[in-house]
Every structure is written in C-alpha cells, then in structure tokens.
C-alpha cells in the first residue's frame, strides 16, 4: 500500500519513511505541500494514506488535506496530520478541516504504526461498504431472473436516451414485446421450464442488439427495447429480426423442445427540442402498448408499427 509523506524537515521525513518501509509500506516522499500535491495527482489511484506536516512551504497541510479530500477518487484516503501543535484548538481545527487523525512531534514509532493500523481498518471498512453499495444498487435496478434492467431501471434508461435523442435531434425507436401464450408454457411444463425460456429469450434478443441498446423486463413476460439513432426503416428490420430469432429455433427444455413466438409493438419518432421528455416517454409507452395489443389481436407472432409525432 502506498503512503504519501509530506514533510519539509529532512530528518523527520527520512525517519518516517524508513519506519514505514520496514513494515511493508511503499513510501512516496515530498519536501513541501505543492510537491506533495503534484505527487498525489500522479499517484492518486494508488495512495491510500497521507501523512502531512501541518506547516510546510508553498502549501500547508490544511490546504493539502482539503485538496486531497476534494479529489474525485474511487477509494478513501486516510489523512494523518504530523504536528508540533499541542493545543486542543489546533487539533480540533485540523480534524474539522478533513484530517482523520493526528500524530504529535516528535512521534513514537509504535504510536505511528498503531495509528496506521486504525487507518487501514477504516480503509478496508470503507472499501467493503462501497462494494456492498455497488451490489445493492445493482440488485435495485436488475431483474433477478434475467439479469437485465427491471421495470424501474428501464424507464430511467429510456428517459435518459430519449433526452439524448432530443438534444441531438436523432431518431429513437421503442419496442415492446410479449411472449405468446406464455402461461401455457408454465402450466404445461412448469415454472422452472418457463424461467429457462425467459432467460433464453433475453439472451437471443441481446445477441441481436448493439451493446449500447437498452433492454428491460417490463412485466412478467413483457420486455422493452430502446434503440437509439435508428430510423423507421431500420427499426422494422430489427423488430423482424427479433421476432424470427425467437420463433425459428425451438427452445430446449427438460424433456424435449418447444416452439415459442413473440408479438411486438414498435414505435419510432424523430424528436425536436420542443418535446417534453416525460410527456414524450409517456406517449411512446402508450403508443407502443397499443401497437403490441394490435399485434396480438391480429394473430400474434407478428410486428405492428406506429410512430409518435
């Protein structure tokens, strides 16, 4: 683990560096605050602990601490002030300005290592908390069965992409698809087989889309696909491709193969800057839902198109 030492007193800095190096730390040294900031900017993704002298030329420890804390980082940097100040007011000021701990001068090696261990525990805790939050966020926006966006997340993705389409004055296509007679699959072959069919359908659809296209589970057997920068002619080709990738190849389940088809509603639009994003999304969802209904009413396993002005 890399530790940054910013200390203008050569002997004190060398003693600190040697003590840390002897205990497995990789030490980066700076003679003053500005040099320390320059080093930090180059090595910031690897520096996890900073030991800063309070009073240094060109930039003092307080300012340097604030710069480090304000930096955009993927991890926590534990800052320890090294100071000869003994009064409570100074110590409180340092802690309130962003420092995590302080070490009085002259320092005791055992106290230094103990305070570093405290910092390491906090760093590991913050890392675990950050990773847990990432996992929780993923769970909150992901459909547990298929691994794609859930209803809430796909709405947010669509809102974002429609907003971009309006800004860039580029076409956007929304597809809603429904698995034909999916209830029969569950009733005849069981929910486990039904789940396998759902997962395979998603995998097939994803294989036909571009990496940046959006797909989400809208309901039980309904899905939404958002395709940006795609005009009506291409959107029709894509929708037909999605339909055929499902119906032309039987699905393998335990005990045999079954045929599955989907019905699709497709809506596209060419935006203008006058469009309200929320109103436009609502209008598109309403229109694509009607188009899907027409596809099912017309016999299923087909695509019905519409547009939003």
Over residues 268-294, the pLDDT tens digits come to 988 777 778 999 999 999 999 999 999
Q: Which region, left, alpha or beta, applies to residue 28 given φ > 0 means left and ψ of -120 to 50 means alpha?
A: beta
Question: Given 126, 221, 240, 248, which residue is catalytic?
Answer: 221
Predicted pLDDT of residue 276: 87
Reported pTM? 0.71
The vertex-32 CA angle with 27 and 34, nearest 5°, equals: 100
Does the domain spanning 2-139 belong to CATH 3.10.450.50? no
Share above pLDDT 70 across residues of the chain, in percent, rounded to a whole number: 100
3-class SS string, the chain:
CEEEEECCCHHHHHHHHHHHHCCCCEEEEECCHHHHHHHHHHHCCCEEEEEEECCCCCCCHHHHHHHHHHCCCCCCCEEEEEECCCCHHHHHHHHHCCCCEEEECCCCHHHHHHHHHHHHHHHHHHHHHHHHHHHHHHHHHECCCCCCECHHHHHHHHHHHHHHHHHHCCCEEEEEEEECCHHHHHHHHCHHHHHHHHHHHHHHHHHHCCCCCEEEECCCCEEEEEEECCCHHHHHHHHHHHHHHHHCCCEEECCEEECCCEEEEEEEECCCCCCCHHHHHHHHHHHHHHHHHHHHHCCCCCEEEEECC
Please say if 221 is a catalytic residue: yes
78-83 vs 47-53, strand pairing mode: parallel
| Mean pLDDT for the stretch of residues 28-57 | 95
Position 309 pLDDT exceeds 70? no
Sequence-separated contacts (24+) of 184-191 with Cβ below 8 Å? 185/258, 185/260, 189/253, 189/254, 189/255, 189/258
151-307: CATH topology is Alpha-Beta Plaits (3.30.70)
| Mean pLDDT for the stretch of residues 218-235 | 94
Predicted pLDDT of residue 136: 93
Over residues 239-257, the pLDDT tens digits come to 999 999 999 999 999 889 9
| Mean pLDDT for the stretch of residues 122-151 | 94
Predicted pLDDT of residue 72: 83
Position 116 pLDDT exceeds 90? yes
Where exactly are the structural domains of the chain?
Answer: 2-139, 151-307
């Amino acid at each position: 683990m890399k530790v940054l030492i910013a200390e203008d007193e050569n002997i004190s800095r060398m003693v600190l560096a040697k003590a840390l190096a002897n205990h497995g730390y990789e030490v980066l040294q700076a003679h003053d605050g500005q040099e320390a900031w320059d080093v930090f900017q180059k090595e910031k993704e690897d520096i996890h602990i900073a030991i800063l002298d309070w009073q240094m030329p060109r930039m003092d420890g307080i300012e340097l601490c604030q710069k480090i804390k304000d930096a955009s980082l993927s991890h926590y940097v534990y800052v320890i002030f090294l100071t000869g100040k003994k009064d409570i007011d100074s110590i409180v000021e340092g802690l309130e300005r962003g420092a995590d701990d302080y070490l009085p001068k002259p320092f005791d090696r055992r106290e230094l290592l103990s305070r570093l261990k405290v910092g390491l525990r906090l760093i590991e805790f913050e890392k675990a908390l950050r990773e847990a939050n990432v996992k929780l966020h993923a769970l909150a926006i992901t459909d547990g069965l298929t691994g794609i966006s859930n209803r809430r997340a796909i709405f947010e993705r669509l809102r974002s992409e429609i907003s971009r389409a309006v800004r860039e004055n580029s076409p956007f296509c929304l597809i809603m698809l429904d698995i034909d007679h999916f209830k029969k699959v569950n009733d005849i072959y069981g929910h486990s087989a039904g789940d396998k069919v759902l997962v395979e359908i998603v995998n097939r659809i994803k294989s036909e889309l571009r990496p940046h296209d959006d797909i989400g589970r809208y309901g039980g057997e309904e899905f939404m696909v958002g395709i940006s920068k795609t005009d009506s002619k291409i959107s029709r080709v894509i929708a037909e491709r999605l339909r055929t990738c499902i119906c032309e190849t039987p699905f393998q389940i335990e005990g045999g193969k079954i045929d599955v088809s989907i019905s699709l509603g497709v809506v596209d639009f060419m935006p203008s800057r006058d469009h309200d994003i929320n109103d436009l999304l609502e209008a598109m969802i309403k229109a694509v839902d009607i188009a899907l209904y027409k596809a099912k009413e017309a016999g299923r396993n087909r695509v019905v198109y519409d547009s939003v002005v």
